[in-house]
Amino acid sequence: MEKLSEEKIAAVMTEVPGVLRKLAGERDSWRERALAAEGHLEKQAHQARIMKIAQIMEDKGLDGGRTMEERVEALEKKASEGRLDAVEEAIGMVPQSVDMGDLVDVPTGAGASDLEQYLLGDLA
């Protein structure tokens, strides 16, 4: 094994602090990039959740007087108040919208008056 001279050891030791500072700077840079990417992913997930809830509201016929953009804005406000979970749960409890015509049983055939038969014959 070769022995190192004191001059070589001193030269290496003088370079160590600079190398360590450089590596620490690179580490900090990568940490910042990772945190920024994580924040971006969380923001995208939040937006996707808001859009999903807004679409469910539209599908169920809730808040029909608003546009999709207005629904999203209202949901964003609820999220900033910390109430998005409650809103999502409440929307989940609402049944799918049902056409009023599906709720009525239409009488058919015998027992219906001539007027009913005529009207139902024309509508059916």
Tens of pLDDT along 6-27? 888 888 899 999 999 999 999 9
* Residue 61 near residue 24 (C-beta atoms within 8 A): no
What's the gap between Cα 22 and its chain centre?
39
Residue with tokens 């945190």: 35
* Residue 116 near residue 107 (C-beta atoms within 8 A): yes
Query: CA 97 to CA 62: how far, in whole Å?
Result: 9
Residue 37 in this model has a pLDDT that exceeds 70:
yes
Tens of pLDDT along 75-108? 999 999 999 999 999 998 988 765 555 555 555 5
